[in-house]
Amino acid sequence: MLGTSSQPAEPRTKRAILPVWLSYILGLVLASLLYVAILTFRFFNYLDGVQSAFAAAEFMYLCGGFLFALVVLILPWTVIALIGHLLDVGRSTRLVYFIFAGALSFFFLNCLTTNPVPFDFGWTTRTQIVFAAIVHQGLYFLACGGLFGASYCILGVPRANRKTMKNGIEVV
């Protein structure tokens, strides 16, 4: 046939939904909202009304170290994202990688930087503070980090080339 080549055209790499930096910021915003929502729900049982619980949650977010950990996360996340972009795996495997990387990085950074008692009265050591953060907020950090990693991957990571299956093996 005229004007056709015998070789099939290569599938093009699809673009990401958002630029990487914007997906990073949006992931941080979503993780922050989840953290404040969890703390508001937790404080609601102990305080009078939603406004008091929300104010306490905002105070813990701003002064408890979570916000500081988000700033500190920039450099480790750059390395994590670089490794994730270099992985030659499918989209679902990359999503699992970013969810676990986000959850673990949030967990470790927040447990090291967060103080469950925002004011230090001198009666606790740093080791006791880290253990208290793990016990009282460890699951919150894992959930927020997983949400951050998932939103970063879904919105900011370009979709890989479409792969075809031949005898159960992925072929590019």
What would the pLDDT profile of 121-131 be if each residue is shown by its tens digit?
A: 666 677 777 77
Q: Does residue 34 sit within a domain? A: yes
Cα angle 30-32-37, degrees, rounded to a multiple of 5? 95
Q: How far apart are CA 35 and CA 72, in angstroms?
A: 17
Percent of the chain with pLDDT over 90: 19
Which residue in 103, 106, 98 sits closest to 16, CA to CA? 98
Token pair belonging to 27: 């992931």
Q: Cβ–Cβ contacts within 10 Å for residue 5, how many?
A: 7
Q: Does residue 80 sit within a domain? A: yes
Which of 107-111, 127-131, 159-163 ranks highest by mean pLDDT? 107-111
Q: Does residue 6 sit within a domain? A: no
Q: Cβ–Cβ contacts within 10 Å for residue 161, how many?
A: 13
- pLDDT tens for each residue of 37-75: 998 998 888 888 889 989 988 888 888 888 888 888 888
Q: Does residue 68 sit within a domain? A: yes
The answer to whether 37 and 44 have CB atoms below 8 angstroms apart is no
Question: For the CA atoms of 112, 21, 94, 31, what is the dihedral angle to 10 degrees?
Answer: 50
pLDDT of residue 164: 46
Q: How far apart are CA 23 and CA 27, in angstroms?
A: 6
Structure-token match 């939603």, residue found: 50
Q: Could you tell me how far CA 151 lies from the centroid of its own chain? A: 7
- What is the chain's mean pLDDT, rounded? 79
SS3 110: helix
The boundaries of the domain holding residue 98 are 20-158
Indicate whether 100 pLDDT > 70. yes
Q: Does residue 2 sit within a domain? A: no
Q: Does residue 144 sit within a domain? A: yes
SS3 166: strand
Q: Does residue 59 sit within a domain? A: yes
Number of domains within the chain: 1
Q: Does residue 3 sit within a domain? A: no
Which residue in 91, 61, 65 sits closest to 156, CA to CA? 91
Token pair belonging to 53: 């619980």
pLDDT of residue 85: 79
Amino acid at 130: V
